[in-house]
Amino acid sequence: MASPLHLEFLQSAAKVDQLPDSEIELALLGRSNVGKSSLLNAIANRKKLARTSKTPGATKLINVYELQPEKSGKWLVDLPGYGFAKVSRNEQERWKHMIERYFTERETLAGVLVLVDGAVGPTALDLTTIEWLQNIDLPYNFVATKADKVRPSKSAQRRKDLVKKLGVDKKDVRWVSAEKGTGIPELRGEIKGFFEDDYN
């Protein structure tokens, strides 16, 4: 069980070339209402580290959070969500282009946490995004959010269906609830391990 990650907001960027150098980066990617910002807050055990909103699409830029101590160069990067954000088509296209450039041009990006809504399961857009990550040969792991929104009587079947659609084993998906804290300590440990293993 890992203690909260000591994360501090470093900066936001509208373009990849606005980012300074880092040592290693782990990105958070998922649909616009999957709960990325809430998960970040839970990982750090801070309510207002990342901005959350009841309206999907609160994250509009590349937001960088640095693992302390200061200037460690180890970043968690929160990206705009894809899908259902209530913004213009032009804005969605800008986000898409920004994310694609970040994934293909950022040399210190070493992995991605793909967030899937556990209460909904993988959507067609999720599966398309995962296929794209495979095509660019970028390592990723799955996190199923909103575990608390699944009724206990349906939990076993929902988990079985989710891993089947993703085409992975059940051990390859970390189920979490930012609201209840389920799975958060284990996810913190995995994130710490990622930075330690890849950094050394």
The span from the CA of 145 to the CA of 187, in Å, is 11
- What digits encode the pLDDT tens for the residues 100-125? 999 999 999 999 999 999 999 999 99
Return the half-sphere exposure (C-beta side, CA atoms, 13 A cut-off) of residue 61. Answer: 16
Where are the chain's structural domains?
Answer: 7-199
**Lookup: tokens for 116:** 């899937």
- What digits encode the pLDDT tens for the residues 26-65? 999 999 889 999 999 999 999 989 877 554 445 678 999 9
Task: Give the pLDDT of residue 97.
Answer: 86
pTM of the predicted structure, to 2 decimals = 0.91
Cis peptide before 122 (omega within 30 of 0): no
Q: Which CATH architecture fits 7-199?
A: 3-Layer(aba) Sandwich (3.40)
